[in-house]
Structure 1
Amino acid sequence: MKMYNCIIVGSGIAAMQLANHLNDQFCILVITKSTKRANNSYRAQGGIASAVGKEDKPAFHYQDTIKAGCDFHNEKEVLNLVENGPKLIEQLKKSGLDFDKDNDGQLDLGMEGAHGQKRIVHCGGDATGKYIMEHLNSTLRHDIDILENRFVYELIIHPTTKKCIGIKAKDKNGQNESYFGHQVILAMGGIGGLFSITSNDPSVAGDGIALAYRAGAEIVDMEFIQFHPTLLYLKGKTAGLISEAVRGEGAHLIDESGKSIMSGKHPMEDLAPRHIVAKELYQQRLAKKEVYLDISMIDRFEEQFPTITAMCQTNGVSLKEKKIPVAPGCHFLMGGIAVNSVGKTSIDGLYAIGETASTGVHGANRLASNSLLEGLHYGQRLANHLNEQLIQEEVVIPYNDLTKDMTVNLPPLPDKEELRAKMMAYAGIIRTSSELKTLQDWLSEYDEWILNDMSLDEYSTETLQRLFMLQVAKLITTSAQLREESRGAHNREDYPTEDERWRQIHIVQSKKGIEMRERQHEYHQVEINA
């Protein structure tokens, strides 16, 4: 049996950054659900937010992040993130990544929503994620084991020490496999696949959160789900993301009559924080009105945004009319697995980074292009932490103690599309207590599945995927029902304003129950020179 020092579950930017920065002495396994390119990082269009401009400072980036996230952050973590941004960009440049430059040979910095400065560093116009991921994959050590098309369905917890010592997975033929290691890192992305309208890769469905929860880890702030305002929308379906960078270049959101939708709705209008723009567009769609992105003011659109251009052409959208039909859809989870500053969860030996984790850097609503920055930052930070640890000689694997009870007879699980439709309808952009209660009642019909601690070994990958989706849907719905205010990406029609009392509260869920935990504030006064 091969023993690994680190088992990394996932293949996005946080996972690959971690793998690239671990010492050569580490024996590493990267295992991923689909292929190593089937992740949200690869799809990312906008870029990396970093205060690298002449007039910009990390202090400004800090302020924009706090404001966009409605003051619900771990301020110390935000400060560390924005201060590390320029260093991370410089490291990528030195390692050979070629960022887009302007005519003077300087970094070509873009503008996006809720940013006060041009600070978005990008590659290939609107293909930043693809370029970064190809770069990180190309620089991986050749001795790192990479396994694709593996569905990880269980964390192996030692029955005596309660330490996470490995994972169970199913290969593409449904055969069970087990892998053991000193540290297990979950870097499996978000929850977009739980909603019928999403920008996410179809494989991203909250698996990491379900795994951690079922193992006993703490899950926090699942009510905060960002809906991106502009997804390409055709015949009732979405066909991909239209980057916020398009609005950063001057595009406007208009209704079917050509009237500006965001005029007078927010001081930043089309570049308002995402939750504000998404809510306005959702209300337009709810009123059966068409919504478009007017790109008539952008010269050389096809050159600046080749990925979006190709996507429009593939889906039969002509750019001659200079307007793109759009609608909001599920984009990013701010909550997730509760972790400390290096990604350690409440279970010994288990870490989480990237969108799977809740670090506190995004607050109640993520600032545009802070996601790739987060993945790079915490991937490197966890690597530095693990590099300083002593590598144990072996993991003690108890004989015959890792198996659970045999499977039991349970009712049929719902179809995935039915679950996605209900999540979009009842736990989507605008929520109410009655709709959330309807969803809770429906989910409770499957509590025998969700709450049962039976063995999962004999179930198919498809069944396990639906079980995990139900599990995470219940976590989201419970948190959304409990938070009786509107804050950031959590919009409650029956509680439309922010409540100072609720700003102090994290909603923490685990197998032990639900806890309303007081937030630990770490305020930092950031000095800004005039």
Structure 2
Amino acid sequence: MSEAKGMVIMMKKSDVLVIGSGVAAFRLAKKIRENMNVIIITKSTLKDGNSNLAQGGIAAAIGRIDHPKKHYVDTLQAGRYHNNREVVREITEEAPRLIRSLLDEGCPFDRDEQGELVLGMEGAHSEKRIVHGGGDATGMTVMEHFVSNLPKNLIVYENMFAYELMIDLTGGKCVGVKAKDANGKVVHFFAEHVVIATGGCGRLYSHTSNAKTVTGDGIALAYRAGAEMTDMEFIQFHPTLLYVGGQTRGLVSEAVRGEGGVLVDDTGQSIMDGVHPLADLAPRHIAAQTIYGYLREGNPVYLDVSRVENFSKRFPTVAALCERNGIDWNDRIPVAPGSHFLMGGIMTDPIGRTNIDGLYAIGEAAATGFHGANRLASNSLLEGLFMGQKLAEWINAQPLEKADFLYEEQESDLPPDSLPEKADIQRSMMNHVGIARTETGLKKHIRWLESFQINHWMEANLDHLKAEEIERVFMGIAAWLVADSALKRTESRGGHFRLDYPCENNHVWTGKQIIQRKKRMERDEQIKTSVAT
């Protein structure tokens, strides 16, 4: 018997269970019909996630000379044509309506003196189409809007760490999740529809823009349960994080370059001239790789914001970040790339359904094909809003059902002292699975992870572990998935850059996805056969 069997203190039931509390989660919860009850469980607090940190804005073709077709083309070009074109078409066409619906709800986006929406420009966009709020605090603006207008059929549980999806042994349906509260007590949440909206895995790296909570939990949860992963090699490194004392301290929005910021070396010379036709507004992977090349040679890179009018008013979040870290933004802002966004993740259809019945994924945790190999700036909040609404509409159309199920817990004999330390995972990921990768480095990282029995942790019961230990398990699994997929893709494309394969190989790799799925344990298959008999 596992220790946790005597620790289950409560059971909660709902029609819809959402794991995560970002924009995608709240859009879904808001759109679920009133006669269905919704539970959101979140690892920390409601606003402690990437959505709240999002600075730039939401991309939507609402300008007078803009059109969704232009947004569509820009998304494909940034994604290096690895995108699902139908998904891109649908989301870019829906974007203006999503913005209008938020405006109708009272979401306070920035407007000019005439009351018109102010549209920003960001890298790889062909038009000004970035809707923003609070200057450079769009994510916070949208999250405040959602949190201040919670639907009556929603209950939120904070500081609740989800650690194991429960799969019905008779039919293979996901029926809920096990979680631990702040005191380490186990809670079973059951639901007809279980939605993963936990974000990506930016905290796998020592240099990142991501919130401390974003450690790949949803990815590992789904993979351990048998869900398919895809495109895990495509990690976007944001070109400009504030870089002080050898550490990244926070995000410097790409919109700064859209308003005239210039990347320069220590002599003040532009580093992007001649690198790409868009210069400082080149796609993120181009800018990040260029900056990385300078830093690797020991040459610092700065963001010169002298041409940005009213910098502290337009970018109050960035200005405050600089001031907190002793940087005078009136001079030059020292920057370095850091992990920012996962284009891959849990493989879903355009509605958000995974290959496991009853399990869904939306937001950054999901891989819909929208972003391709490299996310276009400000398309992330857009996708979260779209997928949250799309999945809610599909769930609303389903009949309410209460099915019986059989769930049996596994035992575990693995001690927690066999886990790698969090900082060691982050350091190894940055060194070997970061901006520039090689076969030698990727294999070294994979061997290192496997020396900690990471393959066993993909199967083991986790009830006996503390939340911090489970987080390390999840980080190890997510790190292995990224490295394994990066090793298999023998080309460079978008956010995936191989020094030993520095070019795109369109003949072999165009449109080809790497899909990862854990084989179910033989013991589980025997249990299913026995139950069926």
TM-score range with shorter-chain normalisation? over 0.9
Q: Provide the residue aligned with 1:511 in structure 2.
A: 518
Q: Secondary structure at the match of 1:417?
A: helix
Query: Would you say the 8 A contact 2:305–2:330 is kept in 1?
Result: no
Query: Would you say the 8 A contact 2:12–2:187 is kept in 1?
Result: no
- Compared CA separation, residues 417 and 388, structure 1 to 2 (3 A): same
Q: Can you give the 5+ residue segments of structure 2 that lack an aligned partner in the other structure? A: 1-10, 521-533
Equivalence map 1:3-402=2 (5 Å): 3-321=13-331, 323-392=332-401, 394-398=402-406, 401-402=407-408
Q: Provide the residue aligned with 1:475 in structure 2.
A: 481
Query: Would you say the 8 A contact 1:450–1:471 is kept in 2?
Result: no
Query: Would you say the 8 A contact 1:252–1:295 is kept in 2?
Result: yes
Deviation at 1:453, TM superposition (A): 2.2
1:466 to 464, 472, 481: 472
Q: Secondary structure at the match of 1:326?
A: strand
Using the size of structure 1 for normalisation, the TM-score is: 0.94
Equivalence map 1:490-501=2 (5 Å): 490-500=496-506, 501=508
Deviation at 1:245, TM superposition (A): 0.5
Q: Provide the residue aligned with 1:426 in structure 2.
A: 432
- Compared CA separation, residues 280 and 2, structure 1 to 2 (3 A): closer
Deviation at 1:448, TM superposition (A): 5.3
Deviation at 1:397, TM superposition (A): 4.0
Q: Which amino acid in 1 is paired with 2:155?
A: D
Q: Which amino acid in 2 is paired with 1:34?
A: S
Query: Would you say the 8 A contact 1:186–1:352 is kept in 2?
Result: yes
Query: Would you say the 8 A contact 2:118–2:131 is kept in 1?
Result: yes
Deviation at 1:80, TM superposition (A): 0.3
Deviation at 1:239, TM superposition (A): 0.9
Deviation at 1:456, TM superposition (A): 1.1
Partners of 1:454 and 1:483 in 2: how far apart?
29
Q: Provide the residue aligned with 1:519 in structure 2.
A: none
Higher alpha-carbon deviation: 148-157 or 402-411: 402-411
Q: Secondary structure at the match of 2:330?
A: helix
Query: Would you say the 8 A contact 1:4–1:27 is kept in 2?
Result: yes
Deviation at 1:271, TM superposition (A): 0.2
- Compared CA separation, residues 267 and 188, structure 1 to 2 (3 A): same
Higher alpha-carbon deviation: 494-503 or 184-193: 494-503
Deviation at 1:163, TM superposition (A): 0.4
Deviation at 1:380, TM superposition (A): 0.3
Partners of 1:376 and 1:450 in 2: how far apart?
36
Deviation at 1:503, TM superposition (A): 1.4
Q: Provide the residue aligned with 1:522 in structure 2.
A: none
1:456 to 432, 456, 462: 462
Partners of 1:90 and 1:406 in 2: how far apart?
51
Q: Which amino acid in 2 is paired with 1:301?
A: F
| Deviation sequence 1:255-312 (CA, Å, 0-9, x none) | 0011101011000000000000000000111111111000001121111111111111
Q: Secondary structure at the match of 1:319?
A: coil
Deviation at 1:402, TM superposition (A): 2.0
| Deviation sequence 1:142-168 (CA, Å, 0-9, x none) | 341100011100000011111000100
Q: Secondary structure at the match of 1:355?
A: helix
Deviation at 1:449, TM superposition (A): 5.5
| Deviation sequence 1:89-144 (CA, Å, 0-9, x none) | 00000000121112332111000000000000001100110000010111211341
Partners of 1:452 and 1:18 in 2: how far apart?
29
Q: Secondary structure at the match of 2:179?
A: strand
Q: Give the length in aligned residue pairs.
A: 509
Q: Which amino acid in 1 is paired with 2:424?
A: E
Query: Would you say the 8 A contact 2:169–2:405 is kept in 1?
Result: no
Higher alpha-carbon deviation: 246-255 or 138-147: 138-147
Q: Secondary structure at the match of 1:247?
A: helix
Q: Which amino acid in 2 is paired with 1:85?
A: A
Q: Can you give the 5+ residue segments of structure 1 that lack an aligned partner in the other structure? A: 514-530
- Compared CA separation, residues 387 and 317, structure 1 to 2 (3 A): same
Partners of 2:457 and 2:134 in 1: how far apart?
46
Q: Which amino acid in 2 is paired with 1:337?
A: I
Query: Would you say the 8 A contact 2:120–2:128 is kept in 1?
Result: yes
| Deviation sequence 1:52-91 (CA, Å, 0-9, x none) | 0000000000000000000001000000000000000000
- Compared CA separation, residues 509 and 309, structure 1 to 2 (3 A): same
- Compared CA separation, residues 326 and 425, structure 1 to 2 (3 A): same
Query: Would you say the 8 A contact 2:164–2:221 is kept in 1?
Result: yes
Deviation at 1:170, TM superposition (A): 0.5
Query: Would you say the 8 A contact 1:165–1:395 is kept in 2?
Result: no
- Compared CA separation, residues 479 and 2, structure 1 to 2 (3 A): closer
| Deviation sequence 1:359-395 (CA, Å, 0-9, x none) | 0000000000000000000000000000000011x23
Partners of 1:376 and 1:446 in 2: how far apart?
38
Partners of 1:450 and 1:507 in 2: how far apart?
22
Q: Provide the residue aligned with 1:484 in structure 2.
A: 490
Q: Which amino acid in 1 is paired with 2:356?
A: I
Q: Secondary structure at the match of 1:466?
A: helix
Q: Which amino acid in 2 is paired with 1:267?
A: P
Q: Provide the residue aligned with 1:521 in structure 2.
A: none
Partners of 2:34 and 2:184 in 1: how far apart?
33
Q: Which amino acid in 2 is paired with 1:216?
A: G
| Deviation sequence 1:37-59 (CA, Å, 0-9, x none) | 00101000000000000000000
Q: Which amino acid in 2 is paired with 1:372?
A: L
Q: Which amino acid in 1 is paired with 2:513?
A: H
Query: Would you say the 8 A contact 1:410–1:449 is kept in 2?
Result: no
- Compared CA separation, residues 298 and 452, structure 1 to 2 (3 A): closer
Q: Secondary structure at the match of 2:253?
A: coil
Higher alpha-carbon deviation: 254-263 or 402-411: 402-411
